[in-house]
Structure 1
Amino acid sequence: MAESHPFPRVDRADRTDRTLGSRRLAALLPDPAGARPAYRHLAQAISTLILDGRIALHVRLPAERELATALNTSRTTITAVYDLLRESGYAYSRQGSGTWTDLPEGRTPRGITRLLKTQDTAIDLARAAPGLPGQTLIDALAQVTPQLAEHAHTPGYHPYGLPELRAAIAERFTRRGLATLPEQILVTSGAQHALTLVMGLLCRPGDRIMVENPSYPNALDAMRRARVRTVSVPVTDTGWDVEIVESTLRQSVPQLAYLIPDFQNPTGCLMPDHERARVLRAAQRSGTWLVIDETLADLALDVPAPPPFATHTTPGGAGQVVTIGSMSKTHWAGLRIGWLRAPARLVTELAGQRVATDMGGSVLDQLLALALLARAGELLPPRLEQLREQRAALAAALAGHFPQWTWHLPSGGLSLWVDLGEPIASALAERAQDYGVRMEGGTQFATDPGIFEQRLRIPYTTPPDTLREAVRRMAAALAAGPSPSPATRRPHWVA
């Protein structure tokens, strides 16, 4: 009998209809009775969802009658909503096939603006990404220049990644307690690239993915674009409720689960060893692939750096874990170097899928990554000490200006997950832009709309004086007047 293939193959002809259901859209929208005129309120909400990526581009909106029923409003109102969306460029119509989402000329999706500074003078608290000292980069460039010259005589395509870098990453896993061979490593253009590749191979549209709530916004965006169904499990200031994780795996039987157990983004929580073992056993029973994001694992500030999650696998279960990592948080996001560790056969299939998009990463960046990883023992300790100092400065400034706010001081990672005590995060983030501070409200980290409006994620990746000034400006913004209600404030994407 032929051996069954362990990884699902997606029939590219098996594509689900790109239609957004009326009940699904209604669940994303505010009550139309909450503001007047209702049609303008609903059109603005749909426009924001399109920019945020919560509604994909070029999908068919529900029929007017169906959406009117789902929202318990009139068809005339929904007709006016769709007319306004078409006028403003957020929708277009095809003769005989309905109304489809679009992006107006000059508008930028939220996933892009999240990565860009809107003004040079603004203090950026939206991105938790430290920079790399210039001299460190100059030294590394000087070190790898002769090696680059040698590689220039080759074609330069390495779909699996540079062999020396794969070996170094494998040795790094082995040193941390998880025996790894280079064949189990695929070098990627960041951890986000690794996640996208894994979902593309292991998931079909409509498959379930278990994800933490809150979670990393770019990962959530990738899931929405892959048209998978997310099943969320909560992460609170005290961590994970493993019984909920176990029951979700048992009852939903997701194809894949995406977890950030090491200084979770954005909560900063660290999953204890005994909980990791329970999650692994539950995933093995349900046949769920675990994608473990270790991007922040090395940023341990008050505790020893945790070993790889997969060290807790039971016999027969090691093949269900894909570990992804990156140099973005420990070194510099501009390198665009990440990796995944998985069974060698899965790595081969992922490399084949990867060739269809980028054929392999930059040799120069991989050589730089190799040089920087070799100096990790020298470069990481001062980075951690700097983060401790910045974390202390941010916590002290917040306590001085906002004694009513609360947070759990994380033992590692790059940010505080601050509870404001009232649902004003989006309004405060909007107003803070006028005071030269850019930050993200908690709703950006939510798997479902309308939650974490009382939360802010505030990174401590800038110098202490900058953090103190940012908090001072935030206090001035909050004191400027009453917070606008979500129904009347202008959308966050308006310049």
Structure 2
Amino acid sequence: MTSRRFGQQSLIQLLGHWQQTPSRIPLWQQLAAALRLLILDGRLVQGARLPGERELAAGLNISRTTVSSALAQLREQGFLQSRQGSGSQVVIPASSTSAHRAMSSTTQLDLSTASLMAGAEIHQAYTHAMELLPSQLQTSGYNHKGVLPLRESIAQRYCLRGLPTTPDQVMVVNGAVSGLALILRLLAGPGDRVLVDHPTYPSALSAIRGASCQAVGVPLLSGRWDITGLKATIAQTSPRLAYLIADYNNPTGYCMDEASRAEIAAIAAQTRTPLVIDETLAELWYHEPPPLPVAAFSNSEQVISLGSASKSFWGGLRIGWIRASPSLITSLIQIRDSLDLGSPLLSQLAVGWLLDNSDNFLPQRRRILKQQRDDCQRLMQEYFPEWKTSMPVGGLSFWVELPGMQATQFSSRASDIGILLGTGTRFGLSGAFDRYLRIPFTADEQTLRQAFQQLQPLWSTLPENTAAANYRKIF
């Protein structure tokens, strides 16, 4: 269990705008709900130690009794444990039933995760993999680089996207985040800076923190990347590497245009800054495919590509890959022993079949998702006309701008009725983006309508929204 201690300021930043004033909900219950949300989101991890009651009360400018009551409720619900002289530590309830008991509703819906259910093709893929498995049983089963048939399929996929690739340039890993962690272990060390889009994927931020590195954000502009800002940030901070999501940035859904890809590749070559380009959503486009991969604009070894089967096919397929120069792949293999000994053979064979046959089912998957995207936008306009968003051309979610700093408050109330929301603060640094939500459109229309019907009354009772409604009635 980690012994990481959250300082007063760090926890305050994570809490964001948690306080609802005026409100009929006691302040200690509001604080308990906000802290519980951080635990359920994974931003307060198992074993993390909270600041002392006196310190936290002073930082939040509330009474110590309020803090004590909030922590007592979390201990009762199984989210904290306290020992004399050791403070309070975060714990995950022993069973999901315990966690759900903290939520008052029996209806559970996770709108904090953007992922697909398994289609019929997943069963087909594993059936085919079982037929191929005997050919692998005469080996040790350990393969740090990945089985050759899968690496050939991945390389062929890159070739079809306009980036010539050989199997020697591909390494199979246990998901894209695992691949990023491996790259960080090779290229960065404790205290090093890693440049990221801002906002960006929360699990990538967790991997960067796990490597004891410091993420440095470059804000995304409206629908595009700030190339000038990125170049200036590299010059000012000298990051060890940059992690960017060029194909349907998670959470904004932005797609980097071709000119920006060429510029960023040139900047990486000039500054000798390795680029790690996350392409896990590249196959989920709804109008036209994205431009050529960023690596296609570089003749150097500075661009590393990350891919995964989890977004395009199914989250249960914990198979990802790294595309890089053969020499870098060799270096990554040499340090992999400290993380794992390879990826599951059966899943590798299944993913190979999915890649080779994706033209038979991905187009239909895109059509369904496009319809769900349109349905989700229409429902948001119907139930939450104050929300602002743009139509994503790819990916799995909307990046929603709220009228004010309301994401934490709203998400805390939603969790009380059994609906988990992805607050913008999960995707930012130092508590940024509390006026944003990420809303996935991976659920069907009926499910989303039921969720929005339950959420709308909660939204309307937030203090800022009540005041705005009263103002509209007067004028």
Say yes or no: TM over 0.5: yes
Structure 1 position 175, deviation (Å): 1.8
Determine if the alignment matches structure 1 residue 438 to structure 2 residue 420: yes
Aligned to 1:14: none
Give the Cα separation in 2 of the matches to 1:166 and 1:268. 28
Structure 1 position 210, deviation (Å): 0.6
SS at match of 1:356: coil
Aligned to 1:122: 108
Return closer, same or farther for 1:434/1:227 CA change in 2, 3 Å cut-off.
same
SS at match of 1:334: coil
1:427–1:484 contact (8 Å) kept in structure 2: no
Alignment of 1:345-494 (within 5 A): 345-449=327-431, 451-479=432-460, 481-483=461-463
Determine if the alignment matches structure 1 residue 202 to structure 2 residue 187: yes
Return closer, same or farther for 1:118/1:27 CA change in 2, 3 Å cut-off.
closer
SS at match of 1:323: strand
1:299–1:305 contact (8 Å) kept in structure 2: no
Aligned to 2:471: none
Q: Deviations over 1:440-489 (max 9, x none)?
A: 1111111221x22221111111222222332222223324x33599xxxx
2:34–2:412 contact (8 Å) kept in structure 1: no
Per the normalisation by structure 2, the TM-score is 0.81
Structure 1 position 405, deviation (Å): 1.4
Return closer, same or farther for 1:305/1:118 CA change in 2, 3 Å cut-off.
farther
Aligned to 1:103: 90
Return closer, same or farther for 1:71/1:129 CA change in 2, 3 Å cut-off.
closer
SS at match of 2:301: helix
Determine if the alignment matches structure 1 residue 140 to structure 2 residue 120: no
1:54–1:224 contact (8 Å) kept in structure 2: no
Structure 1 position 367, deviation (Å): 0.8
SS at match of 1:127: coil
Structure 1 position 276, deviation (Å): 1.5
Amino acid corresponding to residue 167 of structure 1 in structure 2: E
Matched residues, number: 451
2:410–2:462 contact (8 Å) kept in structure 1: no
Aligned to 2:469: none
Return closer, same or farther for 1:302/1:44 CA change in 2, 3 Å cut-off.
closer
Determine if the alignment matches structure 1 residue 278 to structure 2 residue 258: no
Amino acid corresponding to residue 403 of structure 2 in structure 1: G
Aligned to 1:12: none
Return closer, same or farther for 1:71/1:133 CA change in 2, 3 Å cut-off.
closer
Unaligned runs of 5+ in 1: 1-16, 486-495
Q: Deviations over 1:383-415 (max 9, x none)?
A: 110011101101111111222211010111111
Give the Cα separation in 2 of the matches to 1:46 and 1:429. 11
2:240–2:273 contact (8 Å) kept in structure 1: yes
- Point out which structure has higher relative CO (alpha carbons under 8 A, 6+ apart): 2
SS at match of 2:348: helix
Which of 107, 131, 145 aligns to 2:117? It is 131
Structure 1 position 91, deviation (Å): 7.0
Q: Deviations over 1:211-266 (max 9, x none)?
A: 11111111111112221111111124422221111100111110011100111100
Structure 1 position 286, deviation (Å): 2.5
Give the Cα separation in 2 of the matches to 1:312 and 1:447. 30
Return closer, same or farther for 1:49/1:129 CA change in 2, 3 Å cut-off.
closer
Structure 1 position 49, deviation (Å): 6.5
Aligned to 1:239: 224
1:56–1:224 contact (8 Å) kept in structure 2: no
1:393–1:464 contact (8 Å) kept in structure 2: yes
Return closer, same or farther for 1:34/1:410 CA change in 2, 3 Å cut-off.
closer
Give the Cα separation in 1 of the matches to 2:337 and 2:144. 6
1:208–1:231 contact (8 Å) kept in structure 2: yes
Unaligned runs of 5+ in 2: 466-475
SS at match of 1:345: helix
Return closer, same or farther for 1:92/1:201 CA change in 2, 3 Å cut-off.
farther
- Cα RMSD between the aligned structures? 4.0
Q: Deviations over 1:13-37 (max 9, x none)?
A: xxxx988778767766779x999x9
Determine if the alignment matches structure 1 residue 340 to structure 2 residue 319: no
Return closer, same or farther for 1:27/1:141 CA change in 2, 3 Å cut-off.
closer
1:417–1:456 contact (8 Å) kept in structure 2: yes
2:116–2:311 contact (8 Å) kept in structure 1: yes
Q: Percent identity?
A: 36
Which of 195, 202, 212 aligns to 1:227? It is 212
Aligned to 1:328: 310
SS at match of 2:219: strand
1:249–1:283 contact (8 Å) kept in structure 2: no
Give the Cα separation in 2 of the matches to 1:58 and 1:278. 43
Amino acid corresponding to residue 360 of structure 2 in structure 1: E
Return closer, same or farther for 1:478/1:363 CA change in 2, 3 Å cut-off.
same
2:404–2:435 contact (8 Å) kept in structure 1: yes
Structure 1 position 418, deviation (Å): 0.9
Of stretches 384-393 and 465-474 in structure 1, the one that deviates more from structure 2 is 465-474
SS at match of 1:417: strand
Give the Cα separation in 1 of the matches to 2:423 and 2:30. 21
